[in-house]
Structure 1
Amino acid sequence: MLDDSLPIRNEMMTARQRWTILLVSVGGALETFDFVVYGFFAHEIGREFFPINAGMSADTLSFAVLAIGNLSRPIGGIFLGRLGDKYGRRSVFTVSAMVAAVATLLIGMLPSYRAWGMMATVFLLLLRLTQGFCVGGELPGAVVYAVEITRENHGVLCGMVFFAVNMALLLAAGINLTVQMVFTPDQVSSIGWRIGFLLGGVIGLLSFVLRRSLMETNEYAQTVGARHREPLAVLFREHLKPLATGIAATVLVGASNGLFVAHMPTYLRQLGYDPQRIAMAQTLYVIVVSACILVTARMGDVLPRRYVFRLGAVLSALFGPVFYVTVARHQASLPVLFVMAGMVASFANGTFACAIAELFPVGVRFSGVGTAMNLGLAASIGTAPLIASVLVTRTHWPPAPALFMMLCATLAFMASFGMKETRGDVGAL
């Protein structure tokens, strides 16, 4: 009788493997949900937690907190990745979910600046740092589980993880749309924005309870000899080139999400677009990205994955300026532009994670994926709204955020030449 935990080649996944993919996908999804909800309500959070006479706009200060929170992600990714390679994926993946969920819940309950003064601002920053540290291991852990739970179709399994991530984006966009439609602007600023954080915290705690049933990944459990006493030392000594490749590949995905999701509501409001119309367009964007990710992820299993990713980098560099110039001039339908943006973004979103995981052997995979993805995301998804806001303010040119998109796409294009083409047994690497 076959052991249910062993990888099976050329056969359907076992029930336990399907359950594991579902649980780890929810974990990666919650990471994105918690951060994106902040981006959707950055304007309201800025009004709630920063004084009017702070010397900078409340929007800019709110985006600064978003960026600072993301800076703790690589620290968490490196630290948690080391523990995951040294002691196992399961324990790290479970504990981080609980702490991140509690931090999210507390943000939703935090009193405003008017009630607590600077204490409220300080607590907001500390909770964002804590949240960022813990979720630094969430999405990398989900990717590692996807490539180690079975020996085939890694691209599709990673695509399922990011499909769940984008379902979380859809949930966040839906909450944003509902809140904007149900509440008045003043009610959104005082109460409405908190709904997303409270919901995310509750779901996160439920995820923690369910994750206690997770088993260790097949490949990690079977390769005791591949483990290192200090995986980080091995990673930085022997795998610097793959690490740089992974970071450069991730910045494009981070830039896309940071600009089109987190920064766009505030940006488009400044250009005179209706908040409800913005929310509807962003919901379409998430739906399109989610559906197309499954297609591009499958393409990465059938075609050379690096080529699919490279095509995404080229399309992003070309489409970014077109999108921003068109939006700034009000020359096209907002939903149509966001649908096109979603199709373009799916090429990189559907292939980058699996390509990064294939760069590292099992002994340093969690450390490698966690370090590369979190450094890349810290340099892009958290800073993109802040950089875009500063670019527009300093240049007085509304399409200026396209410059950041083009830079990240260029780095990703260069990174694609450092990717391996396995399309087979990652465990053999």
Structure 2
Amino acid sequence: MSPDATQARPTSVSAAQWKVIVATSVGNALEWFDFAVYGFFAGVIGRLFFPSDDETASLLLSFATFGVAFLMRPLGAILIGSYADRKGRKAALNLSILMMMMGTAIIVVLPTYRTIGIAAPILMTVARMIQGLSAGGEFGSATALLAEQDPARRGFFASWQVASQGLMIMLAAAFGIAMSASLSADAMGELGWRIPFLFGLSIGPIAVYIRRKIDESPEFNPDNVADRPLRTVLVDQTPRLALGIATVILATVSAYLALFMPTFAIRQLGVPASAAFSAVALIGVIQLCLAPVFGAWSDRVGRFAIMAPAAALFLVCIYPLFVWLAAAPTVERLVVVQIVLGLLATAYFAPLPALLAELFPAGTRTSGLSLAYNFAVTVFGGFAPFIITWLISASGSKLAPSLYAGAAAAVSLAALIVLRVRYSAIAPPMTSPSALMREQQK
């Protein structure tokens, strides 16, 4: 956040900075779009590539492959994050989106199990692993580049990382609405599910072109790069890394809970598919419109002042909301639940990228960001749909998702409290610039 509250006054955004915002947001949205549509169409993909007599088993295998991609994210964070700290944020961003395009291209043309047998699920898994490597480096590189545009406005600039994910949810949900309304089940199973992946692949070259035209981060200095940024983060900055991971848990669980909601609403609550996707689109609208607002607000009042109340309210509200929805699963109630959860999740998530950026000095920032975010996403987010589906099946309770999300909120809230006590620079009273620099060097 801003080192001094008096310096956190809004200033104009230059043309070069807007270009960075657009380049990172469009590219990031497309990367996450490919992840989202896989989650949205997991049921169809499960039947085509992981056939089973048990529909739940088929869906679990599809979600497991969704989660396998996240096992690759820490490796992507290590490789691309370290590359970004040594060669620059811009170079890492270009590499990550090229890798995402490669994985998406495989999915677009891949024949199903009925055509090529066991090779189909194997190649689908390989494609998802490539996408996981790419996404592992995307968050850290994009967030570092955004956060370093203006140290006094880290919250505002870094929050566009969250806003771009909202754009992704809107795009993916729009495809879900249009396709569920216009295509039959047979058409969806033959070619329909490939259309959104083809869309993402076709827009990829535009994102590559835009990213090549942006300037390098003003804080990146090749002469000040740590000799071993990865080792420095893992050995010398371990407490920061551990607390960073813990703060990400709620953000990633709430994000992937949103991606899981269409499947949950359709399978468990009997809500029409078009209505389920429309409700999810609301979360995208909320993130896209309000993330920069919450981010800019955190530059004035502090990250903790916004994130802690949001996490506490999420913890208190999540179970009663699911009880209320399960009691009468109407479209109207689903919309209300999505709006409440979307507002709380966005208020928590929007300041988070800036908070993570402030935990690590510039020389190890991308490595630290990437590792903290991707370890949490891998363990708690990527397998969230699988875990939730299994919990519902094993317990027979439609309320299982709320218990998982509530536990995530409790852990992240505790981590925020520790951060405020240990690293006062992330919460008021704000310190002077020199004090903040000393705090970051500890």
Question: Under a length normalisation based on structure 1, what TM-score does the superposition of the two structures give?
Answer: 0.93
Residue 285 of structure 1 is matched in structure 2 by 283
In the TM superposition, what are the counterparts of 1:84-95 in structure 2 within 5 Å? Answer: 84-95=84-95
Residue 5 of structure 2 is matched in structure 1 by none
Offset of residue 344 of structure 1: 1.4
The counterpart of 2:238, out of the listed 240, 248, 257, is 240
Shift of the 392–11 alpha-carbon distance from structure 1 to 2, 3 Å rule, reads: closer
Residue 4 of structure 2 is matched in structure 1 by none
Offset of residue 55 of structure 1: 9.5
Determine the C-alpha separation between the residues in 1 that align with 2:329 and 2:61.
Answer: 31
Q: Confirm or deny: 8 A CA contact 1:85 1:365 kept in the other structure.
A: yes
CA deviation digits over 1:366-396, x for unaligned, max 9? 0000000111111222111011001111111
Residue 195 of structure 1 is matched in structure 2 by 195
Determine the C-alpha separation between the residues in 2 that align with 1:11 and 1:397.
Answer: 50
Offset of residue 399 of structure 1: 0.3
Determine the C-alpha separation between the residues in 1 that align with 2:411 and 2:93.
Answer: 30
Q: Confirm or deny: 8 A CA contact 2:163 2:288 kept in the other structure.
A: yes
Offset of residue 295 of structure 1: 2.5
3-state SS in 2 of match to 1:219: coil
The counterpart of 1:252, out of the listed 250, 253, 269, is 250
Offset of residue 185 of structure 1: 1.8
Q: Confirm or deny: 8 A CA contact 2:161 2:353 kept in the other structure.
A: no
Residue 366 of structure 2 is matched in structure 1 by 366
Shift of the 331–55 alpha-carbon distance from structure 1 to 2, 3 Å rule, reads: closer
Residue 4 of structure 1 is matched in structure 2 by none
Residue 3 of structure 1 is matched in structure 2 by none
The counterpart of 1:266, out of the listed 227, 249, 263, is 263
Determine the C-alpha separation between the residues in 2 that align with 1:237 and 1:85.
Answer: 17
Determine the C-alpha separation between the residues in 1 that align with 2:54 and 2:208.
Answer: 39
Residue 143 of structure 2 is matched in structure 1 by 143
Q: Confirm or deny: 8 A CA contact 1:26 1:165 kept in the other structure.
A: no
3-state SS in 2 of match to 1:194: helix
Residue 293 of structure 2 is matched in structure 1 by 295
Offset of residue 171 of structure 1: 0.7
1:219 maps to amino acid: E
Offset of residue 413 of structure 1: 0.3
Query: What's the % identity of the aligned pairs?
Result: 29
Q: Confirm or deny: 8 A CA contact 2:37 2:172 kept in the other structure.
A: yes
Aligned residues: CA RMSD: 2.0
Gaps of 5+ in 1: 1-8
Please identify, of 26-35 and 235-244, the stretch whose mean Cα deviation from structure 2 is larger.
26-35
Q: Confirm or deny: 8 A CA contact 2:165 2:284 kept in the other structure.
A: no
Determine the C-alpha separation between the residues in 2 that align with 1:98 and 1:425.
Answer: 38
Determine the C-alpha separation between the residues in 1 that align with 2:294 and 2:265.
Answer: 29
3-state SS in 2 of match to 1:149: coil
3-state SS in 1 of match to 2:220: helix
Determine the C-alpha separation between the residues in 1 that align with 2:126 and 2:363.
Answer: 33
Shift of the 174–387 alpha-carbon distance from structure 1 to 2, 3 Å rule, reads: same
2:66 maps to amino acid: L
In the TM superposition, what are the counterparts of 1:92-171 in structure 2 within 5 Å? Answer: 92-171=92-171
Residue 401 of structure 1 is matched in structure 2 by 401
Residues 1:379 and 2:376 are matched in the alignment = no
CA deviation digits over 1:277-316, x for unaligned, max 9? 1111111222123323222212211112122111121111
Determine the C-alpha separation between the residues in 1 that align with 2:127 and 2:282.
Answer: 31
Please identify, of 66-75 and 333-342, the stretch whose mean Cα deviation from structure 2 is larger.
333-342
The counterpart of 2:322, out of the listed 309, 321, 324, is 324
CA deviation digits over 1:163-206, x for unaligned, max 9? 12211110111111111111112212222111111111122222
Determine the C-alpha separation between the residues in 2 that align with 1:368 and 1:84.
Answer: 11
Q: Confirm or deny: 8 A CA contact 1:103 1:201 kept in the other structure.
A: no
1:204 maps to amino acid: G
Offset of residue 12 of structure 1: 2.9
Determine the C-alpha separation between the residues in 2 that align with 1:25 and 1:296.
Answer: 17
Offset of residue 95 of structure 1: 1.5
Question: Under a length normalisation based on structure 2, what TM-score does the superposition of the two structures give?
Answer: 0.90
Residue 342 of structure 1 is matched in structure 2 by 342
Residue 6 of structure 2 is matched in structure 1 by none
Residue 42 of structure 2 is matched in structure 1 by 42
Q: Confirm or deny: 8 A CA contact 1:258 1:380 kept in the other structure.
A: no
1:130 maps to amino acid: I
Q: Confirm or deny: 8 A CA contact 1:315 1:344 kept in the other structure.
A: yes
Please identify, of 38-47 and 86-95, the stretch whose mean Cα deviation from structure 2 is larger.
86-95
Gaps of 5+ in 2: 1-8
